[in-house]
Amino acid sequence: MKELSVFVDESGDFGAYDYRAPYYLVTLVFHDQAANILPDIQRLQSIMRDCGITENTVHTGPLIRRESEYRNLSVMERRKIFNCLFNFFRAVDITYETVVVEKKQLTDERDLNAQLSKQIGAFLRSRLEALSAYDKIIVYYDKGQAELTRILVSVFNAILHNVEFRTVVPADYKLFQAADMLCTLELLSLKYAAKASTNSERLFFPSDRDFKKNFIRPMHKKRF
């Protein structure tokens, strides 16, 4: 049986437009279960331990902004954690896609629902031949936002007949953490382009040129 795992993460909320958070992003990470990624996961865990990192879950946004459990770490220590996860993403046999909605163009919450459904649906239909080759597609989401959960269930079931949904615990799946990282980087790419990055983000990635060269371009090569 051919199985495809889809790990979903989001950035943004369904509230009114706020200039400090002008985008809503949804990232989907795709992993063909026939591709064995266990050695990559074990390598990542080993490198993290060698770096003195015992936290099983990496939250990329707080890591970059020096928040929560990362508030006492230096920028060099935080970059070391980030690079471990990013190198894992580059090595592992996965692909991804991110859809973006600019909330400034919307009129209300229902419009955001419609735009997300439209974009996710259009992407799935554009890859329908490849997706239909799988006997089962398992969508993992942490149910962080009920609105997005409803959209995912509705759109996936409308287009594909072989979908199963599971609630993910971030600490249990490195690919969900990869989805979180990719979503954060796609958002940062938009912010850098709009010259709207924060001081903490510019401290973490001080060179726009290096940010694009070392992270955004390699990341985009793995689009689905």
Q: In what order do the strands lie in the sheet with 95-102?
A: 95-102, 23-32, 3-11, 136-141, 163-167
pLDDT number for residue 105: 87
* Calpha distance 210→47 (Å, rounded): 24
- Whether pTM exceeds 0.85: yes
Residues 6+ apart with CB under 8 A from 164: 136, 137, 138, 139
pLDDT number for residue 15: 87
Give me the amino acid identity at 35: A
Give me the amino acid identity at 110: R
Q: What is the CATH number of the domain that holds 213?
A: 3.30.420
Give me the amino acid identity at 30: F
The position carrying tokens 């001080």 is: 206
pLDDT number for residue 39: 94
pLDDT number for residue 55: 67
From first to last of its 224 residues, the chain has per-residue pLDDT tens of 999 999 999 999 998 888 888 999 999 999 999 999 999 999 998 888 877 676 678 899 999 999 988 998 999 999 999 999 999 999 999 999 999 999 998 887 679 999 999 999 999 999 999 999 999 999 999 999 999 999 999 999 999 999 999 999 887 899 999 999 999 999 999 999 999 999 999 999 999 999 999 999 999 999 99
**By residue range, what is the domain housing residue 61?**
3-220
What's 215's DSSP letter?
I
Question: Using only C-alpha atoms, what is the Rg of the chain?
Answer: 17
* Calpha distance 180→86 (Å, rounded): 11
The number of domains in the chain is 1
What's 92's DSSP letter?
S
